[in-house]
Amino acid sequence: MCGGRLDSGWYRRKPRVSPTTTLPASYDRRFSFSCSTRTCRKRRTPASTRFLGRRIYLGAVVVLATAMQQGNTPWRMSQLREALGVSAQTLNRWRVWWAEAFAQSAFWKAAAAVFSPPVAEDASPSSLLERFSGAAHERLAALLRFLSPLSTSAAYVPDLRR
């Protein structure tokens, strides 16, 4: 960004969910900042637990669907596709993302050091979910908070001094 004043606003976001799921109206918007300088207007989006990066599916769906695929069977895959309204190609793409892009990301290389003993990367995200305590929904929320830096561009670093 050029250093101009930051304006805040809500930007449209249409999360994809199964046809039987109804989300609150607030899920159709994402809070973000944009530079007020006319020639710049670059947008910076703060971290969120709702989405993982630019994905159109909710972060919780990406985590849980991928975790449920581990040890996948044709029956399990068909159940996931039916329940979530997600294609087999999308489910496979998420599994590859966890195994390759996530495992090689600068975020994970730095964050992995927090866990002792090391997390089994080939079993992510299930192995990560197991590292958080509480009921299943509490572990999922904790994992999404942990992953929230992935919901924004790598260049975004909030300046808390202003």
pLDDT, mean of residues 6-18? 78
pLDDT one-digit tens code per residue, 84-98: 777 888 888 888 888
Greatest distance between any 2 Cα atoms in the chain: 54
Detail the DSSP E strand segments found in the chain: 6-12, 29-35, 43-44
φ and ψ at residue 10, rounded to 5 degrees: -105, 130
Q: Which residues of 18-37 are buried (b: 16+ CB within 10 A; e: fewer)?
A: eeeeeeeeeeeebebbbbee
Pairing type for strands 43-44 and 29-35 reads antiparallel
Pairing of strands 29-35, 6-12: antiparallel
| Mean pLDDT of the region 31-57 | 76
Residue 121 DSSP label: G
Q: Please tell me whether the overall predicted TM-score, pTM, comes out greater than 0.75 for this model.
A: no
Q: Where does the pLDDT of residue 154 fall: very low under 50, low under 70, confident under 90, or very high at 90 and above?
A: low
Q: How high is the pLDDT of residue 134?
A: 92
Burial of 138 (0-12, 13-18, 19+ CB in 10 A): exposed
Q: What value does the mean pLDDT take over residues 126-139?
A: 90
- Listed ranges 4-8, 74-78, 101-105; the one with the highest mean pLDDT: 101-105
